[in-house]
C-alpha cells in the first residue's frame, strides 16, 4: 500500500504556492510573526510553522496547515483565529473560527480582523462588568470549577464526575452549581445567553478540535458495512443548531462521511466530528458504481 508523505522542503514549496495562489501573502505581510518569547504584546500574529506530524498523509496526500493567525490578549492568552491549509498543489482553503471555508483571502482576512475586534471589545466589557453577590461557599465552588476545568478540560459534566474525582476529593454539590448558574443568568439578557451557548457549541464542533464520538463512528462503520441507511443528528456551524438527517453512507473516514442525504436528495459530505448521534435505520441501499469520493 502506498504511503503518501512529503518532505519538509516540499511542504515549504507548497506553503509558498498556497500563499501566492490564495492572495493571502501580502495580507499576512502586515502582521508580525509569532515570537518564541514568553511575553509578547497583544494583537494579531501569524505563524508559518509547519507541523511535522502533518507531512504524512497515510493513504492520501496530506493537507497541511501553512499559515495560522493568532490573537494575543493583554494577559498573554493566545487564541486561534483562522488558518490556511493546502493540498498537493491542487487546492487550498481559508478558514476562520466560525467558517470552514471562505471564498477569498480579502474576505477571510476581514472576517478575522472583525472577530479580533469583537474579542477585544469583549475583554474590555469584562473589565467593566460589575460584580454580583455570592456566598463564601459559592465563591469557593466557582474557583474549583475554573481550576478543574483549566487543568482537565472536561467535555461535559457527566465525564467530569465519572472520571475526575479522586478518593480524596469532594464533589461540588449540584444545588450550588444550579444556584451559581441561576444568579449569573439573571444578569444577562436571553439573547446573550443563547449566543454564549451557540459559541460554546461552535467551539466544541470546530474542525480544529476534530473530536469524534467513538460510539457514533462505530455505528457509521456498521451502517457502511451492512449498507444500511443511518439516522444522524448533524451540527451546522453557521446556525449553531442540529438537524436530523437520513443518509446512505458511500464513503467513511474519521474525517469525513460522504453519502446520499435523503433530506437534500443529493450526495453530501459531512464532517465526522460534527455528527452528534447516529442510529441504524431499517432501509438498505446500494452504492452507485459511478460514485467517486474524490469529486466531493
Is residue 292's pLDDT more than 80?
Answer: yes
Is residue 161's pLDDT more than 60?
Answer: no
Specify whether 163 is located in the same domain as 88.
no
Specify whether 86 is located in the same domain as 19.
yes
Asked whether residue 108 is assigned to any structural domain, the reply reads yes
Specify whether 139 is located in the same domain as 235.
no
Task: Assess contact for 24 and 108: CB atoms under 8 A.
Answer: yes
Q: Residue 95 to residues 33, 62, 109, 175, 213: CA-CA distances in angstroms?
A: 19, 17, 10, 41, 23
Specify whether 123 is located in the same domain as 8.
yes
> What pLDDT does residue 234 have?
95
Asked whether residue 23 is assigned to any structural domain, the reply reads yes
Task: Assess contact for 56 and 5: CB atoms under 8 A.
Answer: yes
Number of domains in the chain: 3
What's the pLDDT tens digit per position in 92-146? 999 998 888 899 999 999 999 999 999 988 888 777 665 556 565 665 555 555 4
For the whole model, what pTM was predicted?
0.44
Is residue 149's pLDDT more than 70?
Answer: no
Specify whether 121 is located in the same domain as 57.
yes
In whole angstroms, what is the distance from residue 113 CA to residue 28 CA?
12
> What pLDDT does residue 55 have?
82
Asked whether residue 208 is assigned to any structural domain, the reply reads no
Q: At 205, which helix (H) or strand (E)?
A: none
Give the range among 51-65, 163-177, 183-197, 219-233 with minimum mean pLDDT.
Answer: 163-177
Determine the structural domain holding residue 146 and report its residue range. Answer: 133-186
User: Which of the two residues, 220 and 151, has the higher pLDDT score?
Assistant: 220
Asked whether residue 201 is assigned to any structural domain, the reply reads no
Asked whether residue 32 is assigned to any structural domain, the reply reads yes
What's the pLDDT tens digit per position in 233-258? 999 999 999 999 999 999 999 999 99
Asked whether residue 195 is assigned to any structural domain, the reply reads no
User: Which of the two residues, 208 and 104, has the higher pLDDT score?
Assistant: 104
CATH number at residue 240: 2.30.30
In whole angstroms, what is the distance from residue 12 CA to residue 129 CA?
46
Asked whether residue 209 is assigned to any structural domain, the reply reads no
Task: Assess contact for 236 and 219: CB atoms under 8 A.
Answer: no
Amino acid at each position: 500500500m502506498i504511503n503518501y508523505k512529503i518532505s519538509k522542503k516540499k511542504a515549504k514549496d507548497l506553503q509558498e504556492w498556497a500563499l501566492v495562489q490564495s492572495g493571502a501573502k501580502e495580507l499576512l505581510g502586515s502582521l508580525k510573526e509569532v515570537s518564541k518569547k514568553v511575553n509578547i504584546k497583544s494583537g494579531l500574529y501569524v505563524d508559518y510553522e509547519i507541523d511535522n506530524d502533518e507531512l504524512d498523509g497515510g493513504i492520501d496526500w496530506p493537507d497541511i496547515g501553512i499559515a495560522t493567525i493568532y490573537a494575543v490578549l493583554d494577559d498573554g492568552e493566545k487564541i486561534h483565529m483562522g488558518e490556511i491549509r493546502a493540498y498537493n498543489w491542487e487546492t487550498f482553503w481559508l478558514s476562520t473560527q466560525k467558517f470552514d471555508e471562505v471564498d477569498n483571502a480579502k474576505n477571510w482576512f476581514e472576517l478575522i480582523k472583525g472577530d479580533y475586534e469583537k474579542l477585544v471589545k469583549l475583554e474590555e466589557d469584562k473589565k467593566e462588568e460589575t460584580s454580583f453577590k455570592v456566598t463564601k461557599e459559592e465563591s469557593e465552588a466557582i474557583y474549583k470549577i475554573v481550576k478543574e476545568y483549566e487543568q482537565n478540560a472536561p467535555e461535559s459534566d457527566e465525564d467530569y464526575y465519572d472520571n475526575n474525582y479522586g478518593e480524596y476529593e469532594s464533589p461540588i454539590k449540584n444545588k450550588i452549581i444550579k444556584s451559581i448558574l441561576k444568579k449569573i443568568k439573571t444578569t444577562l439578557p436571553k439573547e446573550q445567553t443563547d449566543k454564549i451557548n451557540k459559541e460554546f457549541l461552535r467551539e466544541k464542533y470546530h474542525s480544529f478540535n476534530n473530536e469524534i464520538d467513538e460510539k457514533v463512528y462505530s455505528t457509521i462503520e456498521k451502517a457502511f458495512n451492512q449498507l444500511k441507511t443511518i439516522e444522524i443528528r448533524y451540527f451546522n456551524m453557521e446556525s449553531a443548531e442540529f438537524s436530523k438527517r437520513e443518509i446512505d453512507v458511500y464513503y467513511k473516514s474519521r474525517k469525513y462521511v460522504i453519502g446520499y442525504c435523503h433530506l437534500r436528495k443529493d450526495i453530501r459530505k459531512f464532517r465526522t466530528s460534527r455528527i452528534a448521534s447516529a442510529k441504524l435505520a431499517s432501509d438498505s441501499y446500494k452504492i452507485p458504481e459511478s460514485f467517486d469520493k474524490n469529486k466531493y
